[in-house]
Amino acid sequence: MKCIDCGKDSSKKDRAVSGGRCNSCYHAFVTDPLEDGLTDIAIKSAVDTVSSNGTLYFSKDNLRYQLQRKLNKKIKLCSIALVVLVVIFIVLLVFAFIARGAFVVLTLVSAATLLVPLVAKARFKTNISKLPALVDKWLVVNPHEKLLTAEKSQANTDGVSTANLDDISFDRVLICERDETVDFFLSNLFHFHYSCPVLGGSGYPKDIYEDMLRRLKQNPNVKVFLLHDHSPAGIAFARRIKTDPKWFGGQRYTIVDLGLNGEQKKLFKDMTFRFVDRNKKVKETAEVALFAPAALIGLCGAAINEGVPFDLVTSVAAAASGSNGYG
């Protein structure tokens, strides 16, 4: 496995002798490829992707989902390999019945090889469940200046205050279900690049929420855009913003639910969580954090400019063509 610091290869034996460190530069390794299904280089590549090579702030969840995408690709390869091996097994089985001889041995060997992709697929699925702990371990050993923490979020949002609301456009607003999503957009200056204030459904940021909401509601032509998880809580959030008089209920405002919604599943295929509801029905949820930061910024910007939900956006490719999602 290659060291992310000096690029030198270290075998498992080398890592064991040096206490899990590179025997050249002594930088600590985080992963065990056989146990985690990922290498340090793979995680470093994922960090570069979610941070757009150090230009965008990202969360632990962004990194976790990017690593899940890598493991999902391996799971798909295992599924393809399994299909190919099954076909080979069936062909050999037919020949074994007809010609016997060596084909019987080959059929038995082929049957045994079916276990390889099955075991690998099961292991990769287990690796996905362990990603939160792996991400935490990685960030302890390899801290990143663009990782969003509570302290950085506070520092990045301190500049948004009632004192500078006069410089903000009140023609449109993005309201997010989660406060951490608001922190993500404000830290990456989404409100500046798209001339669109960003608020949280909990009344966040608290210092400007009331004043900003009052000014927004004074404009009868304001366009309100909602962003939330595909979940019961997300659906409840969207309903509340649309119906609660404290927000935009009771008056004729243009409200666009960007997502995530059930009819948009093509946007988050293979990235959902399953749960059993009170009626014992299996349902799926998906989080906004599953999108890579640049992709989310580009998708939100395009959807707001077009005034449509995510699944109806036509210009997202152009919006996200730049490395940092601002085209």
Is 159 within the bounds of a domain?
A: yes
Same domain assignment for residues 239 and 264? yes
Residue 312 within a domain: yes
First-to-final CA distance of the chain: 36
pLDDT of residue 167 exceeding 70, the answer is: no
Q: Please tell me whether residues 129 and 161 are part of one structural domain.
A: no
Residues 82 and 204 in one domain: no
Mean pLDDT computed over every residue of the chain: 87
Average pLDDT of the segment spanning 246-267: 89
110 lies in some domain: yes
pLDDT of residue 156: 65
One domain, residues 104 and 185: no
Q: Are residues 205 and 264 in the same domain?
A: yes
pLDDT level of residue 270 (50, 70, 90 thresholds) = confident
Q: Tell me the percentage of the chain whose pLDDT exceeds 90.
A: 57
Claim to verify: residue 155 and residue 295 sit in the same structural domain:
yes
Instruction: Identify whether residues 280 and 158 lie together within a single domain.
Output: yes
Tell whether 54 is covered by a domain.
no
User: Mean per-residue pLDDT for 269-273?
Assistant: 77
Q: Do 299 and 158 fall within a single domain?
A: yes
pLDDT digits (tens, 9 = 90+) for 121-152: 999 999 999 999 999 999 999 999 999 988 87
pLDDT at residue 160 in the model? 59
pLDDT score of 199 more than 70: yes
Specify whether 266 is located in the same domain as 125. Answer: no
- Residue 199's φ and ψ, nearest 5 degrees, are -125, 160
Specify if 4 maps to a domain.
Answer: yes
Q: Find the mean pLDDT for residues 203-229.
A: 90
**Same domain flag for 250 and 216:** yes
Residue at 325 is within a domain:
no
- Is the pLDDT at 12 greater than 80? The verdict is yes
Tally the domains of the chain.
Answer: 3
pLDDT tens readout for residues 286-307? 999 999 999 999 999 999 999 9
Q: Is position 55 within any domain?
A: no
- Assess whether 161 and 299 both reside in one domain: yes
pLDDT tens for 62-95 read 999 999 999 999 999 999 999 999 999 999 888 8
Residue 2 sits in which domain range? 1-30
Q: Residue 39 domain-assigned?
A: no
Whether 128 and 238 map to the same domain: the answer is no
